[in-house]
Amino acid sequence: MSPVQDEGMPVVDVDAGSGAEVQVDFAKAGGLVPGVVQHARTGQVLMVGFLDEQALATTRETGLATFHSRSRGRQWTKGESSGNVLRVEAVEVDCDRDTLLIHALPQGPTCHTGDATCFGPQARPGSFVHELDEVVRDRHAAMPEGSYTTSLFDGGVRRIAQKVGEEGVETALAAVAQDDDALLGESADLVYHLLVLLRSRGLGLADVERVLRERHG
């Protein structure tokens, strides 16, 4: 599915994982279906809302997660007051066609309490490697002074590639000559520097996953 890149750019049609458009069964639950919002990168569940046909249409047309408020009896777009919108990348429907899975990128905290997820600060996290990839991307965009990641980007692709090579050798040596803790530590260093190298070329973890998925079949 094509990611939404700016407001007004529509999301592709709802599907059931096959790429074919399907009809959502709004009638089953009196005109509303639950929509589970999942972080499009980390997989963490962010919130749950309800959508009617109009809310789904608005979500698809604007690329911003939009719901039907049962208490207010009207349509509302997440973040319309706070600015913490959910930019939708994909919408899928379950096998019974009465529940939606909304893959979105949050622009700020999702919960009104300031937490990243409506399930609280202790909620089960998504993939930390994806979270780290997002941090590296933010560092690349902001280039904050005093950041080690910034210093790597300042050194350029060749220097970052050299670091990845060094960490790769150290990881291999740890695997054959040191204990598990050393191997894990060197592996963590390797993964981090690899994420920085990818970002220096305008790539990210999602691009690597795409290649692996294609190879898998």
Q: What is the CATH number of the domain that holds 15?
A: 3.10.20.810
Same domain, 63 and 101: yes
According to DSSP, residue 85 is labeled -
Tell whether the model's pLDDT for residue 216 goes beyond 60: yes
pLDDT score for 197:
98
User: Given 95, 124, 153, which residue is the final one in a domain?
Assistant: 124
Quick one: 114 and 144 in the same domain? no
- Of the residues 124, 155, 189, the one at which a domain ends: 124
Does residue 129 or residue 9 have the better pLDDT? 129
109 and 138 together in one domain: no
Q: Spell 59-83 as b/e; 16+ CB within 10 A means b.
A: bbebbbbbbbeeeeeebebbbeeee
pLDDT bucket at 121, cuts 50 / 70 / 90? confident
Strands 66-69 and 45-51: unpaired
Q: Helix 128-142 crosses helix 148-177 at what angle (to 10 degrees)?
A: 140
- Same domain? 104 vs 187: no
Looking at the structure, do residues 120 and 185 belong to the same domain, yes or no? no
Residues 71 and 156 in one domain: no
| Closest of 51, 76, 61, 52 to residue 7, by C-alpha | 61
- Which helix H or strand E contains 8, and what residues bound it? none
Could you give the CA distance from residue 211 to residue 65 in angstroms, rounded to a whole number? 28
Find the range with the poorest average confidence among 18-32, 55-69, 104-118, 149-163.
18-32
Helical H runs in the chain? 53-62, 128-142, 148-177, 180-200, 205-216
Q: Do residues 7 and 113 both lie within one domain?
A: yes
Residues 22 and 91 in one domain: yes
Domain span at residue 195? 128-216
Judge if 14 and 93 occupy the same domain: yes
User: Given this model, what pLDDT does residue 136 score?
Assistant: 96
Q: What percent of the chain has pLDDT over 70?
A: 89
Among residues 137, 150, 138, the alpha carbon closest in space to that of 198 is found at 137
DSSP 87-132: EEEEEEE-TTSS-EEEEEEESS-SSTTS-SSTT-TTSPP--HHHHH
The answer on 137 and 41 residing in a single domain is no
Query: What is the model's pLDDT at position 217?
Result: 74
Q: Is the pLDDT of residue 181 over 90?
A: yes
Per-chain mean pLDDT for the chain: 88
Q: Does the pLDDT value for residue 12 go beyond 90? A: no
Q: Is residue 160 predicted with pLDDT exceeding 70?
A: yes
The CATH number of residue 153's host domain is 1.10.287.1080
Which residues, at least 6 apart from 82, have a Cβ–Cβ distance to it below 8 Å?
A: 108, 112
The pLDDT, as a whole number, for residue 14 is 60
Q: Is the pLDDT of residue 4 over 50?
A: no
Do 10 and 112 have their domain in common? yes
Question: How many domains is the chain partitioned into structurally?
Answer: 2
Work out the pLDDT band at 17, boundaries 50, 70, 90: low
Final residue before a domain boundary, out of 105, 124, 143: 124
Instruction: Assign 16 a pLDDT band (cuts: 50, 70, 90).
Output: low
User: What pLDDT, on a 0 to 100 scale, did the predictor assign at position 5?
Assistant: 37
Asked if residue 116 and residue 21 are part of one domain, the reply reads: yes
